[in-house]
Amino acid sequence: MIKGIEQLVSKVFQEQYGEAPIAESIQIQETRKDFEGDFTIVVFPLVRIAKRKPEEVAETLGNLLVNNVLEIEKFNVVKGFLNISLTSSFWTNWLSNLSSINSRLPKAESRGELMVEYSSPNTNKPLHLGHIRNNLLGYSVSEILKSAGYKVYKTQIVNDRGIHICKSMIAWEKFGNGETPESSGLKGDKLVGKYYVAFDKAYKAEILELTASGKTEEEAKKEAPIIQEAQAMLMKWEGGDEKVTQLWETMNAWVYAGFDKTYARLGVDFDKLYYESNTYLYGKDKVTDNIENGIFYKKEDGSVWCDLTNDGLDNKLVIRADGTTVYMTQDIGTALLRLEDFPKIKQLIYTVGNEQDYHFKVLFKILEKLGYSWASNCYHLSYGMVDLPTGKMKSREGTVVDADDLMEEMSQKAKEITTDLGKLEDLEETEKEVLYNSIGMAALKYFMLKVDPKKKMLFNPEESIDFNGNTGPFIQYTHARIQAILRRGKERKSVPFDEFELEEKEKSVLRLVKKLPEIIEESAVNYSPAVLCNYLYDLVKAYNSFYQSMPIFDDENAGQESFRIELTKQAGETIGFCLTLLGINAPERM
């Protein structure tokens, strides 16, 4: 349709004005919501050739299109914009011949292979609210990219070594009395996190004691016995000390078991895991091998750096004077290992908070200097931090919002609200519990994903679980309502659609259903589930407006009834498909 109109416009201008416009000047777009029409031709770029006022050019084009294109019913002109309306028969024919959603999207895995990294936690504490946004964003972007035709590998790098885990290990040795997840009843990640907080309290107490004895705060931070013990433990670990290694393996195993439970409830998964304890040595070797050729240089104290000042960055430390490595070294090794494991990958996508923007600029530049052309395709999916109405979180002080606790809270809020509304009285108790969790997770996920990733956000649990407005539960409820209509529709006899004049509200739903492939592509190009959320909300609003304004079931007009049932079916399938890409369940009943 669009291509045909472009060709007709070109032909008209050649015949009428002696010159065909260049393709870029024929601009056809979706008509804005405030105006009548299905699509709009922007006339302003064509005025130069016609040497007429925009309104005159638009009127001429509009009449020609109505007279030459059967599917165009009418037009209207608003200044330099020609708004075109398609016939009802165009829309009914389109709906009756509509293929499945997947067949309207790019062929699966046809556009190459990508890898998306997300989560990537430290093994010294449980996952928290910030990790939730990270996981939901990374998972949803992965699913959207799959729908856009890419083969996607979901991965994470587990930060399982370094001073952070040594802090928990030292504190457990000092204060743990052999406590385990089994003996304490705590999830393993929570138990280890408990000792990370205990370390910080002990460390602060020692700093106060040292400053009271005359040390400066800076001196006290370096000389506090407990931090020196943690640093010594790190050196032992890197040296392969058997006792330290055994404790490290034990406590990390506790954490992994805890993480697995959190991921399962959050509904995210991974195709491949990488561990810093394996990748940091690979990165260290790569750095060492490239000192002689000048990509890296060594200082007198033995530390190794990369000079990026000519690239608008700074000098970056990659190996400390004592021979230990930094995060940058590990990330270099991890990137190279990934390309060895998956040599067809055309892009690495890192889902990491925006406080690491500079880190990834440096990483990508170092990879370029090492001669890897694919480094220019690496992408940092940067996102803003999450705050609560109560303020920021501090993991060292134990004031983080625990991911497990938040998910449980959302489930309980869903239970309270649905019980008050009396919506689930016909369900068995086990079905209710499943649905409470489904609604709670929908509230959490949708609220997180509807905000543009680059923006900092405030998560408000109360607002997120409202059954009205731009929320996950509202969209789920519309999907469930549609399923109820379709169950009733199965009892009705389906007949071919009659020729009848469609209402504008019916067309609004059809336009949005038709727009899905375009939205998937826009979401993929921008790595933004927020684009999909906005579309989903618009579709749900349009369907509800249609549903509330006109009857679906009509004994006197079977053709129109069949059309509206099919319209409902396609809207429901589209809503359910979009919810799946967001990692949200689409309930059949609510």
pLDDT tens by residue, 290-348:
999 999 999 999 999 999 999 999 999 999 998 888 889 999 999 999 999 999 999 99
Q: What are phi and psi of 115, to 5 degrees?
A: -130, 130
Write out the two tokens for 254: 């506790």
The model's pTM: 0.91
Alpha carbon distance 28, 2 (integer Å):
7
Report the pLDDT averaged over residues 547-561.
93
The pLDDT score that the predictor gives to residue 462 is 86
pLDDT-derived band at 390 (thresholds 50, 70, 90) equals low
pLDDT-derived band at 393 (thresholds 50, 70, 90) equals very low
Q: What is the pLDDT of the chain when averaged over all its residues?
A: 93
pLDDT in tens, 409-428: 999 999 998 888 776 777 78
The pLDDT score that the predictor gives to residue 473 is 96
Report the pLDDT averaged over residues 92-110.
95
Write out the two tokens for 7: 């060709």
End-to-end CA distance of the chain: 40
pLDDT in tens, 251-272: 999 999 999 999 999 999 999 9
- Is the model's pLDDT at 443 over the cut of 90? yes
pLDDT-derived band at 436 (thresholds 50, 70, 90) equals very high
CB atoms within 10 A of CB 197: 20
The pLDDT score that the predictor gives to residue 143 is 98
Q: Report the phi/psi class of residue 180: left, alpha or beta, with left for phi > 0 and alpha for psi in -120 to 50.
A: beta
Report the pLDDT averaged over residues 515-543.
97
Do 488 and 553 touch, CB atoms closer than 8 A? yes
Q: Shortest CA distance to 414 belongs to which of 389, 446, 385, 374?
A: 446
Do 102 and 520 touch, CB atoms closer than 8 A? no
pLDDT in tens, 143-157: 999 999 999 999 999
The pLDDT score that the predictor gives to residue 395 is 41
The pLDDT score that the predictor gives to residue 425 is 74
- Is the model's pLDDT at 565 over the cut of 50? yes
Report the pLDDT averaged over residues 516-534.
97
Q: What are phi and psi of 218, to 5 degrees?
A: -65, -40
Do 151 and 346 touch, CB atoms closer than 8 A? no
Q: Using the 8-state DSSP alphabet, how is residue 151 labeled?
A: E
Do 280 and 237 touch, CB atoms closer than 8 A? no
The pLDDT score that the predictor gives to residue 399 is 53
Report the pLDDT averaged over residues 458-464.
89
The pLDDT score that the predictor gives to residue 204 is 97
Report the pLDDT averaged over residues 376-384.
96
Report the pLDDT averaged over residues 211-234.
96
The angle, 0 to 180 degrees and rounded to 10, between the axes of the packed helices 429-449 and 242-266 is 100
Half-sphere exposure at residue 224, Cβ-oriented, CA atoms within 13 angstroms: 23
Do 21 and 46 touch, CB atoms closer than 8 A? yes
Q: Report the phi/psi class of residue 152: left, alpha or beta, with left for phi > 0 and alpha for psi in -120 to 50.
A: beta
Alpha carbon distance 418, 437 (integer Å):
12
Report the pLDDT averaged over residues 493-510.
90
Kindly write down the DSSP assignment for every residue of 274-319, as one continuous string. EEHHHHHHHHHHHHHHTTTTTSSEE-TTS-EEEE-GGGTS-EEEEE
Alpha carbon distance 564, 505 (integer Å):
11
Alpha carbon distance 29, 318 (integer Å):
50
- Is the model's pLDDT at 498 over the cut of 90? no
The angle, 0 to 180 degrees and rounded to 10, between the axes of the packed helices 188-212 and 242-266 is 120
The pLDDT score that the predictor gives to residue 16 is 84
| All domains in the chain, ordered by first residue | 2-86 (3.30.1360.70), 118-387 (3.40.50.620), 403-581 (1.10.730.10)
